[in-house]
Structure 1
C-alpha cells in the first residue's frame, strides 16, 4: 500500500517543506482575495498559473491498493504524464514508482498508518517518467482522517531532486576513490620496492648465465612476470591524485584513434568515428587519456564477444547546461563512446566505476575490474567528468568531458639522443638493504665503482670526503623516501650546497610523485621508477652522465 501526495488545501495540512508551505500560503491569500478585488482574475486561474510554474507537484491519494489518485497538479506533465491519467484511475501512482523502491515505501507507510501517522512523512524514492527515465523525488506528505479517526488519504508535495542525488553520488564516489588512492599509493610503493629486489636478482643471474642455459630462459619468463606485476603497481598509482600530470596541449582525433586501435587489436570489433571539425585543443596527459579511452573501449569489446561496432564521436560543447555535475561551466570537448553490447542493468550501473567491481567471470589474464574506475579517476584528475547511460538490450554510452585548453599552442614531439658514456664512480642510496645489495652488484658488474649507503646523512659525508680526496663521484642515485632518515629531497638540497654541478638521479616506487614528474625543477638530472630493469638503469645513467 503506497499512498501519495497532493495540494494541501486545509490550513492545518502543513509539511516540513518550505516550498510546500509557501504554496499553501499563496493559495490561502488568493482565496481570501477572491471577489474582493474588482477586475481581478478568478483565484483558480491565478492558482493554476502559479502551480504550473512551480517546481513542486501536488497530490492527494487514497490509502488503498496501488494508491488511486484523487488529485494531481497539472504540472505533472513534466514527467510526461497527464493529470487526467491519474485522476481517471487508469494510472495508479504506484505504477510509476521504481520497482526496487516499492517494498521499502510500503513498509514505511504501513508502519506510519499503524502508528496513527502522528507526524508528516519525508520520503525519498525513484519514479519512472513516461519516457522511461528514472528520477529521484522528495515526497513530503501528511495523513487525512475521517470522522471515525481512520486514515483515508495522504496529501503532499513532490520535488524532483535528481540533480541533488547525482551530486551526492558523485561526492560519495569521489570520497571512496580518495580512500582507495591513499591505500593504493602505499601498497604500490612497498610492492615496487619488493619487485626491485626480485627483478634486480633476476637481471644479475641472467648476466652470469649463458643465453642458451635453460635456467636463463626460465629467468626471462620470470622477468616478464615482473613486468606484468610492475604494470599492476602502475595501475594502482594511476588512482593517486597528482598535481603534476605530464600535461601538454593536444589535439584529440589522433590520440582517440590510437587508443581505440590499441584496445581493439586482434578483435572482431570494428570502429566508426565522427569528429567535429576544429575540435578545441585540450591540455592533458596523453598517456593517461589514452588509457582512460582504451579501458572504456575494452569494456565495450568484452561486451560484444560476437563482434559489432563501437562508435566514437567528439564534439565541442560550450557551457553545457545538461551536465550539471561538471566541475565548472566553460568550454569542453565531449567524447562519446557507444557500444552494441547487451547493456548494463540499472542496479549495476551505479557501481561500475567502483574499484575491483566486475560482473564478468575473470580469466587468468584479465584485470580485476580496475579499468573503468581508472578511467573515472583519470578524467576526474583532469578536472573533467564522465557519465554512463545504459539499459538492458540497448548498449552502453560513455560520455567523457575534457576542459578545453586555455591556450592553443600545440607542442612538437622531441626525441632526446641517448649517448653512451664512460663508466665512473656511483654513490647509491636506498633504505632497503636488499635493494642496495642487488643494485650495487649490478652496477659493479657493469663496470662502475659503487658505494652503497642507507641514509642521506651518509651520502653527504661520503660525497664530501670523496671530493676532498679528489676522487669525486660521477653520479649519485637517491631514494626519494627514507622513513627513518634523510630522504632524497633534503639530501639533494645539501648536495647542491656542496656542488652546484652535481649529477643526481632520483629513484622512487611512487612513480606519480610530483618530484619524480618534474625532477629537473628540483635540481636532479634524471629520474627512475622502481622496479627497474638493468637496461633502464643503464639508460638513465648514460643520459645523466653524457
Structure 2
C-alpha cells in the first residue's frame, strides 16, 4: 500500500456503510452482557463515527484518530504507522513521542525481525515464544523490561529494546487491517508500568477496521490523484457556479496558469468572448445533470493564444444525488487539426493536379481552335471572303476557356463571390433557355408571385444552374421535363437544413430522368466522382463549393428510375433592389471620359479601342502612379474623368488599391471600378469596403465592362 497520503484528499466515509456498520456494532456490543466495558467500547466507536462523517484531509483524519485513542486510553504516546511500498513503517501521525524517539524510530522496516511491532505486521501469533497477543493479533505488554528479561539469552541479543532505553514500560502494537491484510499498526507507549491492559487493546481493535478502510480509500484516491496530476490531458473541476476547484499539471501545461493562479477564479476566463454563448448553453445542459461527450471547441490560454481542444464534461453528485460540480477533461488537438489541414491540403493538391491535367488538355484544344480560326480569318480576309463566322467561333472558344479558369478558381477555394442583389427568376429563365435550347427537354417554371431577391455572384450562380441543368439533361437522353421552382423559405429551429435561422430563397430543380442509385447518392459532391466517361466529375463539387461560399446549402433526393430533385438555398433579401430610373437613353446610353489602367499593354490597347468604339473618351495608363498624374492633370484642365478602371495587381508598379487611396486624396468623389484576374482577392469580393463602387473580373468582354459603366454612370449614388 502506498502511504503517500495527499493533504488535499478529503475524507467522507460512505454514509450507507457507516450506518449499517454502526447498527451491527451496537447490536454486537449489546449482546455481550458479560462485558463490563461494552459501554466504553460503544462510546469509542460513536466518537470515531463522528470523525468519519466529517470532510477531512487524510492528515487531519489520522491526527483526530490519534488524539481519540490517546484520550480514550489515557496513554501518553500514540502513533499511527503505515506500511509503504519500500517496506518502511513511518509514522503518519503521532502524539507524545519525543522528537529524538520519532527520528530514530521512523526508519523501522518491515524486514526487521528484532521488534515485536514488526512481528505484528507479519501476523505472527507468538512473539519470542511468549504469548502476549490478543485474539486479534495485537501485541501488548505492561512491562517491556520484564518481558525482555524473560527472553532467552540468544533472543535478548537480537532484541532492539528501543522503547526501554527511552523510558517506556507499557507498550502495544495494534494491527490495522484491510480485507484481512495488515497495512500498518497503532503504536502505543507509556512510561507507567501495567498501564496498557487487554480491555484497552480491545477498545482500540474495535476502531482499526474503520481506520484501515479509510486509509485504503485515501491511498486509492491518492493514486488516482497522481494519475490525474501527471496525465497530459488537462483535468479541471469547477462548481456549478463556474468557480475552478481543481487544476492539474496537464491544465498548467496547456493553458499556462499555475493552480494557485486560477483555483477560485471563474472557468469562463478560458472561454473566448465569441464562444460565450456556447459556454452558457453547455452550462444549462450540465445543470440539468447531462454529461457532455467529446466535442471540439476553442479555449484561450494565459498568453491570449487560442487553443483547439476536445472537451468532455461530467456532472459530479454528492452522496445524496445532488449536483455540486463539474469535471472537465481538455485535450489539445491543435496538432491533429494541423495534420488534418495538411492532409486536406495534400488531397486538394492531388486533386488539383488531376484537374490541371484535364484543364491543360482542354485548354490546348481551345488554343488550337483559336489559332486555327485566326489563320482562317487571315486567309479569308486576304481572299475578300466573309470572316464573321470564324470571329464568332473564336469569341465562343475564348469564353469557354475563361469558364475553365473560373472552375479551377472555385475548386481551389478561390473565386470569392462578388455579390450583388439580383433577380433569381431572370437568371433561371436566361440560363435554362441557353442550356436546353438544343435539347429535347421541356422546361416548366413555377415562380412565387412575391418572390424575394438574393445577393449573389451572377457568374458563379450561372455556373451552378448550368451544372444542375446539364446533369438533368444527361439523365434524360431521350428527352423529358425539368420543373424549375423558386419560392421563399424561412429556416427555423425545426428545419432539417444545416443553415442559420433566417430568410432564404429556395430553388428546386426536378427532373424525370434515370435517378441516382442509393450507393452513389452520398458521393455525388466528391471531386472527380462521375458515372459518365465524358464528364470530369467536378460539376457538383463546384456547385457545392459556390453555394457554401454564398452562405447557402444544397440538398438532393432521388428515386432510381423516376428522377432527381435538387434544392438550393440562398440567403434572401426582402427589400427590393433600387431600379435604375428611365432616362430616355435606352438607345443612346450615357457616355463619358474613362481612365483605364492596366499593366498588360495588349489588353489595354484592345479594350481602349473597344470602349472608344462604344463612344467613350478613353485615356490609358499602365500603373497607378501614371493614373494619378493623368487624373490630376485632367482635373486641373477642367476635364475630369467620369470613372476610372484600375487593375488591382501591377507587379512592377503601383496597384489599383494604392492608386485609389491617392486618387481619393485628390478627388473624394472619384468613381472607381476594380479589375483583376485574381477573383479570390478580398478586394474583389468586398470592393465597397475598399472604396471602389464596382468590380469586374478578368477575362471580361467589352460588353460586360460597358454594363458596369452604364450602371455606375446612371446612378449618382454610386
State the TM-score, normalizing by the size of structure 1. Answer: 0.49
Which structure's CA Rg is the greater one?
2
